[in-house]
Every structure is written in C-alpha cells, then in structure tokens.
C-alpha cells in the first residue's frame, strides 16, 4: 500500500520499520520538528525522524496543522491509501483525516476505551491495572473515540515499569498494524462503558506523597520512571530523584516519609517502601549503597516535608 506515516517518539519507530520492511510504499513521514534536547540543548531530530532518514524516506515536520491549508493540500496530494499514526503529537484536522483512501489508523497504547488520551502506559500502571495492550483504531475527530480494528493485551505485573511496558507495546503495535493492513479488519464501535482518560503528565506528577500507601508509591515510581521521574525532598529543599524502589514488610508507627533504618526503608501512609536507586542534583542515578556514601540520610530524617519546593 501507499502509506503516510506520522509519529515522533521511540514508541512509533518499530511500526515505521515494520511497515517499511513489509514493502509498503511510504510516501512521506511526518514527525515533530527537531527540538533542543539533552544537557547541551543541541537541536535534535525526533527518533522517528532519525529512523526515516536511515530508511531514505522523505520527512516533513510542520510546526502546526491548524488552519494550514497548504499542508492539508500537500498531504492530500500524496494520494495515500492510508495514514498510520503513532504518538505523532499534533491533532489531525478533518481535512487530513479523510484525505487517504482508507482514512487514518492510530496505534494506541491501551485497551480502548480505557485510557484514551496522552499517557495510557503510565496511567495503566498508576491505576493498578492488571493488563494493558494496543488498539488499532480508525481515527475520527474525537480524542481516541474511533472504531476499533484490532487489539491485543499483555499482563501488568508488580515488576512492570513504564519502560518495559512501552517497549512491549511498541513491538505489539508494529505487529498489529502490519496485520490489519495485510488482512483487513471489521470496525467495532467502542463501548460507552469503561471510558477513562489518561491526562498529559507534568513533572509535578512525580512528587511522592508519603501519605500514600507503599503499593501506590511503588506504582508511581514504576509508572513515571524515566519521565517525568519521581522525586522527594530533603528538609533543606534538596530534590532527590527516585529511580527504583520496592515495598517491604517493615512494621512501623512512624510519620509518613520518615527514614526507618540504614537500609532506606521509608514509612508510608500504609506500609513501607525501600529505596533502591536515587539521584542527587547534578549527579547520575545511583544504587542506594553508592548514594549513601556521598549523602547522609540517617534514620529519623523525614522526607518530603518541604512541600513548598518546586521541582525543576
């Protein structure tokens, strides 16, 4: 088929590569414009942009598609059979949704209608869901509301992180969209029951509230690492990022946020959690024992009391 591919982050790259490998004619790849990234803030193309260049594909990166008639006309002129969209990051106007012969198909990282929206992978882990998956859907004007074409699921365990689930679903999405294009699919209207929305995340979502249960805090750390990342503060306001932790059986009667022992077991609103990897400002993420060689965190110190501190 003659396709247009539209995506930006790493999640979309396996689908682009799979479609190219299957011999589809990819007329153009749309991705977000190159932007400053990393400590040096050098301007970098997106992961999809880089992959498309490696494959020798034409890349377009309009800043906006809103009221952009010239871009709509250029898109229609590609005369694509379908557009495949995976975490592109721009809303497609009706003129673009209807331009390809078969419309636009979205690779969405949830089992719709659960977790429509921007952060389905993180939201599923945060909520304690026992499964996630990918839905291939026909796009329409609503937010992830279109008919479903195919879906598959994976379990979420107590070891699942946003990183591991992301990688699983990226590969699953690539396989599913290849199958849909090869075999076709009967559209199924999304049910009205079970609709939930996954909000756009901010850095503040990563602030640990030690009043929460150890189970909830564990989910937050697994869901929001590596981005936006989870963190707490020392009494002096120093931000400490948390890279990994595990609930533990330590019994306590301490206030939430209190360091219980030299093993970095922390009192929670219910239960306790052991911090396994931490990061000081300006340093890399370290295992707890290495971290403690350069930063004293004595038992009895209470984390997260500096609630007025703004994380940056």
CATH number of domain containing 40: 3.40.50.170
Residues 6+ apart with CB under 8 A from 222: 125, 160, 161, 162
210 and 238 belong to one structural domain: yes
Q: What is the dihedral of CA 129, 131, 135, 139, to 10 degrees?
A: 0
CA distance 74 to 71: 5
Q: Is 111 annotated as a binding residue?
A: yes
Q: Is residue 304 part of a domain?
A: no
Is residue 69 a part of any domain in this protein? yes
Q: Any known ligand binding at 113? A: yes
Q: Are 253 and 246 in contact (CB under 8 A)?
A: no
Do residues 136 and 32 share a domain? yes
Residues 233 and 130 in one domain: no
Q: For position 306, what pLDDT does the model report?
A: 60
Angle at the Cα of 79 from the Cα atoms of 73 and 82, rounded to 5 degrees: 110
User: What's the total number of domains in the chain?
Assistant: 2
pLDDT of residue 307: 43
**Cα–Cα dist 165/257, whole Å:** 29
Distance from C-alpha of 217 to C-alpha of 231, rounded to nearest angstrom: 11
Asked whether residue 311 is domain-assigned, the answer is: no
CA angle 42, 6, 169 (to 5 degrees): 90
Contact 219, 125 (CB under 8 A): yes
Best CA proximity match to 75, nearest among 99, 94, 59? 99
The reply to whether 211 and 126 lie within a common domain is no
Continuous segment of H or E residues that includes residue 25: strand 25-30
The model's pTM = 0.93
The enclosing H or E element of 104 equals: strand 104-108
Last residue in a domain, options 198, 216, 241:
198
| Domain-located, residue 72 | yes
- 301 domain residue, yes or no: no
Tell me if 6 is assigned to some domain. yes
Terminal alpha carbon distance of the chain: 46
Say which residue the tokens 């880089």 belong to: 50
105 and 155 share a domain?
yes
Q: Give me the sign of the Cα torsion angle 34, 11, 110, 61.
A: positive
What is the span of the domain harbouring residue 155?
Answer: 2-198
Statement to judge: residues 138 and 186 lie in one domain: yes
Q: Give CA torsion, residues 48, 54, 55, 58, to 10 deg.
A: 70
Instruction: Check residue 40 and give its pLDDT.
Output: 79
Same domain membership, residue 159 and residue 20 = yes
Locus of tokens 């414009």: 33
Q: In terms of domains, do 27 and 134 share one?
A: yes
Final residue of a structural domain among 156, 174, 198? 198
pLDDT digits (tens, 9 = 90+) for 285-303: 999 999 999 999 999 999 9
Q: DSSP letters of 188-252?
A: BPPPSTT--EEPPP-GGGGB--TTSBHHHHHHHHHHHTTTT-EEEE-TT--EEEEEEEEEE----
239: CATH: 3.10.25.10
pLDDT score for 305 = 77
Residue 110 marked as a ligand binder: yes
For tokens 């992961």, the residue is: 47
Ranges in the chain, pLDDT < 50: 307-312
Residue 303 in domain: no
Q: How many CA atoms lie within 13 A of 184 on its CB side?
A: 2
Q: Which of residues 198, 227, 262 is at a domain's end?
A: 198
Shared domain check, 67 and 22 = yes
């Amino acid at each position: 088929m003659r396709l247009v591919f539209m995506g930006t982050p790493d999640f979309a790259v396996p689908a682009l590569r799979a479609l190219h490998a299957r011999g589809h004619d990819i007329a153009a790849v749309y991705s977000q414009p190159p932007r400053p990234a990393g400590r040096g803030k050098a301007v970098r193309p997106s992961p999809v942009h880089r992959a498309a260049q490696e494959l020798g594909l034409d890349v377009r990166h309009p800043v906006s598609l809103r009221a952009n008639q010239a871009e709509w006309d250029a898109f229609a002129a590609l005369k694509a059979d379908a557009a495949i969209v995976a975490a592109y990051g721009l809303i497609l106007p009706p003129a673009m949704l209807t331009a390809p012969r078969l419309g636009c198909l979205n690779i969405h990282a949830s089992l719709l209608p659960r977790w429509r929206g921007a952060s389905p992978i993180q939201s599923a882990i945060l909520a304690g869901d026992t499964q996630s998956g990918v839905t291939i859907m026909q796009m329409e004007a609503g937010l992830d509301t279109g008919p479903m074409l195919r879906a598959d699921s994976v379990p979420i365990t107590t070891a699942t992180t946003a990183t591991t689930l992301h990688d699983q679903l990226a590969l699953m999405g690539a396989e599913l969209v290849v199958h849909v294009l090869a075999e076709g699919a009967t559209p199924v209207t999304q049910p009205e029951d079970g609709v939930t929305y996954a909000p756009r995340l901010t850095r503040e979502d990563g602030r640990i509230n030690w009043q929460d249960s150890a189970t909830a805090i564990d989910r937050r750390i697994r869901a929001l690492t590596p981005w936006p990342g989870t963190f707490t503060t020392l009494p002096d306001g120093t931000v400490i990022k948390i890279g990994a932790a595990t609930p533990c059986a330590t019994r306590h009667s301490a206030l939430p946020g209190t360091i219980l022992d030299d093993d970095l077991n922390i009192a929670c609103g219910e239960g306790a959690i052991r911090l396994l990897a931490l990061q000081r400002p300006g340093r890399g993420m370290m295992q707890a024992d290495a971290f403690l060689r350069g930063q004293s965190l004595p038992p009895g110190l209470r984390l997260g009391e500096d609630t007025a501190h703004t994380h940056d």
